[in-house]
Structure 1
Amino acid sequence: MSYPGYPSGSDGYPPQGGAYPPQQGMYPPAGGGYPPQAGGYPSQPGGYPSQPGSYPPQAGGYPPAAGGYPPQAGGYPGQPGGYPGFPPQGGGYPQGQPGAYPSMPPAGGWGGQPGYGTPGGGMPQGYPGGPAPGQQSMPGYPGTGPTPNPSMPGMPGYGGGMPSGPGAPTVPAMNRGFRGTIKDFPGADPFRDVEVLRKAMKGFGTNEDAIIELLGARSNKQRVPMVKAYKTTYGKDLIHDLKSELTGHFEELVLAMMKTPAEYDAFELKHAIVGAGTDELCLIEILSSRSNAEIHEINTVYKAEYGKSLEDAIQGDTSGHFRRLLVSLCQGNRDERETVDIALAKQDAQKLYAAGEHKLGTDESQFNAILCSRSKPHLRQVFLEYQQMCGKDIEKSICKEMSGDLESGMLAVVKCIKNTPAFFAERLNKAMKGMGTKDCTLIRIMVTRSEVDMLDIRQEYQRTYGKSLYTDISGDTSGHYKKLLLKLCGGSD
């Protein structure tokens, strides 16, 4: 379906002749302004220009072209387990120098602005969290030791504690570029987008296909501003109108896509706690896969929306060592450095062995301390050292030493840390397997991972289950709900 001045074809913007004539001082501005001219926004040497506001739109959308931040092929790296970046605050990203790490934040991390994955909203998972260059050894450089962790000073034998001596090897993390399926649409304008939504909902019947085509082609940071633009333009609430026009799981999916990442996570955590029975795996899924900055933002939104802290809600609905695990995770205080000290990983593997397999009974607090505070690259090395030390995977030891919610919670944390895309592929398969579909889980993962690592999840799904995620979604869902889920999936492998 096409709309005057806003073609529905693949070309998208700009409008055709006769619509939105450029006026002095109005959209679009003169040459050099918005939308970008052919060739995209001129990039500055070493990275994005330091412009206030959001990313300049690039031809083809996110990721940025070669020469952007950081200076490596593939654009800005997608980090495992976190949301993609919201627009940075004034000043943009610092300009990177070829061959060097980007500038690090001061102790305590980036400023606590809303959003995910950028200097305005905290680091994405796996992004170096240590001091500035000159204070931290480069990964793999001979003679390096661990660097202090400002969030956990003085932890014995780790981070801010004793180094493991000269010559200790380190393991750098690997960045693979943007791995999501939904990218920024070049030149998207929320005021023009809400015209499409209004026409799709106005009159007799609803044009669901127009809604799917629009929302399935916009990133989260382009969808969320539509709510305010809709109210500004029409004096009505977009969420209310969507609820009145849509039904069923399609409605749930659309509404999930209109929330910010923190709002949606807080919403899901709330329903996991107060619903008919606690959805323990939902709690673990969210808290074990989000970065520190994302968890802090979730805590802020949860308190503002529901009048109590997330920790208090968890305390009141869970018990025992499982409650301690969740409370530890919701602090958002995990070390987030990329480098790994092999000697310290061996020490932690020995501690886990001594706390479980090597003693009568289990010291659950030792598992909790290591799994909830150590960095994810470090823990992956710990799991490897553990397997080499005692001849079995850490998962098998957890199954032997623990039971109930604690066992399932610890297993989920380990699986998420070991291989985040494989963890979500398993969650998706279980959501669609057997009688009935766990639509809440299916919607949550498809929405929250579509701009993070959906390409990797699809690969793991195909490798593990011998068929594509796209095929299973097609066979397990229907109608407009299926169409929009497949947009988030992005294709078949």
Structure 2
Amino acid sequence: MDRVTPTVTHRRPPLPHFQSILATSNHHITVSEMSYPGYPPAGGSYPSASGPYQQAPGGYPPQPGAYPPQGGYYPPQPGAFPPGAGYPPQAGGYPPQAGGYPAAPGGGFPPQAGGYPAAQPGTYPNMPPAAGGWGGQPGFGAPGGGMPQGYPGGPAPGQQPMPAYPGAPNPSMPGYGGGVPTGPTPPAGPAINKGYRGTMKDFPGADPLRDVEVLRKAMKGFGTNESAIIELLGSRSIKQRVPLKAAYKTTYGKDLMSDLKSELTGNFENLVVAMLKSPTQFDASELREAISGAGTDEACLIEILSSRGNAEIQEVTKIYKAEYGKSLEDAISSDTSGHFRRLLVSLSQGNRDERETVDISLAKQDAQKLYAAGENKVGTDESQFNAILCARSKPHLRQVFHEYQQMCGKDIEKSICGEMSGNVESGMVAVVKCIKNTPAYFAERLHKAMQGAGTKDRTLIRIMVSRSEVDMLDIRQEYLRLYGKSLYTAISGDTSGDYKKLLLKLCGGSD
């Protein structure tokens, strides 16, 4: 009797079910990682007193369907997309895409091109202050949720480039074997401390009208009560200090800044005036002084432009033009030259990629381009360094620096120092340091400001004021790690009087 061989049929898993699972997973990851852009809290301190998302009294009231959703809205129930209740978001939640969220045939969820847009940093202060910058730059704060795709023209994350992919890893380059990485993939960024990393917080129940009355009494009559000014300004957040100017003029018909300048002197006066400006106004005035003062303060220019987020730089350029009648780009161009000018102009555009995703193959390509433009070339192609360091995202550049080290066994900073000189060298190195670890960069800047004969008080004031509600706690940690003593101790030993007392308020404590 002949044996009948059974026919085995390999069936694919049901596509709609697979899509549904994938869509539910994607939805959960994307929404939970996004930060809501733009709105600073209207009142109360951040973070809130209880719960990871609960705002203090005075913040925006929760809207129906807002984030975090109320019970029954999130997470989505297994087996169906969208969930039966509460999704798509109601008024006040995430804005729906055009046409809502259409379901794919079979109940799945079609992947959207590019995913959710990356969270853009809002005007200062952000909520929460984010990693790497005043405006939510990853690297010194909380990680943001970016678009889950690589750079234009590159393969999607997790995909290998095709053999004919232009500029694919070149086996002839040092340290590569057919495009296979030679070392472990580094962490996505420097260690990130969650939550609010500033030292200045909202003062509960602060009232501008009562505050200006205190300031007026401190300046009225014979002598000035500096202690009252220190106590008040040293316990108010920036959003509570800035309205004091309008409240003072409304109440007394006088200009608060003018009155303070007539009563105070020296570095204490400069510090008080700086604390009453909004962050972007302060940046604009510092850039103006760096350009138009006696000589050009190149270090100030590069410090501000390399550490601020896109939204902040764009706001600073608007204020600069309005206040001084000349664009920041024109001011930079007329006061600098060569490749250093190009570097500053590029940074002043506020156009850096701010996505969080990293394409490993493109990071390898960029590392090879930097190697070919410097170490592997007679002379240096500064334009290639400029193009990569000023346009790529910070997470991407941290991967590039790692790949560069793996490829040629040399740190990118050392290569820049060996290939360049003067302002362009110091500018490029500052950009690299700021991208690698922003708090450590500022700790080094503070140390140099207080080191040696004389104190660079302008630098000290600018950093202490501008970082007090961003990452001052992280800067303090880095200062202690790098120099073996607390920032509080360093300031105490290098300054004096009322100036010291107010700086220590901004510092927030000793480590």
Q: TM-score range by the shorter chain?
A: 0.7 to 0.9
Aligned counterparts of 1:475 and 1:429: Cα–Cα separation in 2: 12
Q: Is the 8 A contact 1:53 1:88 kept in 2?
A: no
Deviations 1:6-56 (A, max 9, x none): xxxxxxxxxxxxxxxxxxxxxxxxxxxxxxxxxxxxxxxx9xxx9x99635
Q: Does the alignment pair 1:309 with 2:327?
A: yes
Alpha carbons of 1:404 and 1:90: their partners in 2 closer, same or farther (altered >3 Å)?
A: farther
Using the alignment, how far apart are the partners of 1:93 and 1:250 within structure 2?
48
Instruction: Give the CA deviation at 1:113.
Output: 8.0
Residue 360 of structure 1 and its aligned partner are, at CA, apart by: 1.1
Q: 2:101 is matched with which residue?
A: none
1:91 and 1:228 mapped to 2: Cα distance? 31
Q: Is structure 2 residue 41 aligned with structure 1 residue 55?
A: yes
Aligned-partner residue type, residue 232 of structure 2 = L
Q: Deviations over 1:318-348 (max 9, x none)?
A: 0000000000000000011122222221221
Structure 1 position 125 matched with structure 2 position 137: yes
Q: Over the residues paired in the alignment, what is the CA RMSD in angstroms?
A: 3.2
Q: How does 1:369-384 map to 2 (within 5 A)?
A: 369-384=387-402
Contact 1:116 1:124 in 2 (8 A): no
Percent of pairs identical after alignment? 69
Equivalent in the alignment of 2:67: 95
Q: Say which of 280, 289, 292 aligns to 1:274.
A: 292
- Aligned residue-pair number: 401
Query: For residue 489 of structure 2, what is the aligned residue in structure 1?
Result: 471
The CA deviation string for residues 51-79 of structure 1, in whole angstroms up to 9 with x for no partner, is: x9963544xx322234354x8xxx99xxx
Paired AA for residue 63 in structure 1:
P
Determine the structure 2 residue equivalent to 1:291.
Answer: 309
* 1:422 and 2:440 matched: yes
Amino acid in structure 1 at the alignment position of 2:500:
K
Shift of the 372–409 alpha-carbon distance from structure 1 to 2, 3 Å rule, reads same
Write out aligned runs for 1:146-165 (5 A): 146=150, 159-163=151-155
Distance 1:483 1:420, change over 3 A: same
Deviation (angstroms), 1:166: 4.0
Contact 1:269 1:282 in 2 (8 A): yes
Distance 1:445 1:53, change over 3 A: closer
2:363 and 2:399 in contact (8 A); partners too? yes
Q: Structure 1, unaligned stretches of length 5 or more?
A: 1-45, 77-86, 131-135, 138-144, 147-158
1:216 equivalenced with 2:188 (yes/no): no
Asked whether 1:402 is paired with 2:454, we answer no
Aligned to 1:204: 222
Larger Rg: 2
Q: Distance in 1 between matches of 2:264 and 2:416?
A: 44
CA distance in 1: counterparts of 2:156 and 2:40, whole angstroms: 42
Q: Is the 8 A contact 1:116 1:294 kept in 2?
A: no
CA shift for structure 1 position 163: 1.7
TM-score normalised by length of structure 2: 0.72
Gaps of 5+ in 2: 1-31, 77-92, 98-115, 129-133, 161-184
SS in structure 2 of the partner of residue 162 of structure 1: coil
1:65 to 2:49 alignment: yes
Q: Residue 276 of structure 1: CA displacement? A: 1.1
CA–CA distance in 1 between the matches of 2:327 and 2:63? Answer: 33
After superposition, the Cα gap between the structure-2 partners of 1:123 and 1:411, relative to the gap in structure 1 and judged at 3 Å, is: closer
SS of equivalent to 1:382: helix
1:407-447 CA-partner distances (Å, limit 9, x unpaired)? 01101111111110110011001101111000000000000
Shift of 1:111: 9.1
Which residue number corresponds to residue 6 of structure 2?
none
**For the structure 1 residues 492 and 123, does the alpha-carbon distance in structure 2 shift closer, same or farther, using more than 3 Å as the test?**
closer
Amino acid of the structure 2 residue aligned with 1:332? G
Matched letter for residue 297 of structure 2: D
Question: 1:376 deviation in Å?
Answer: 0.9
Q: 1:65 to 1:213 in 2, by over 3 A?
A: same
Give CA deviations for 1:336-384 in whole Å, capped at 9, x if unaligned: 1122222221221111111111111111111000100111111111111
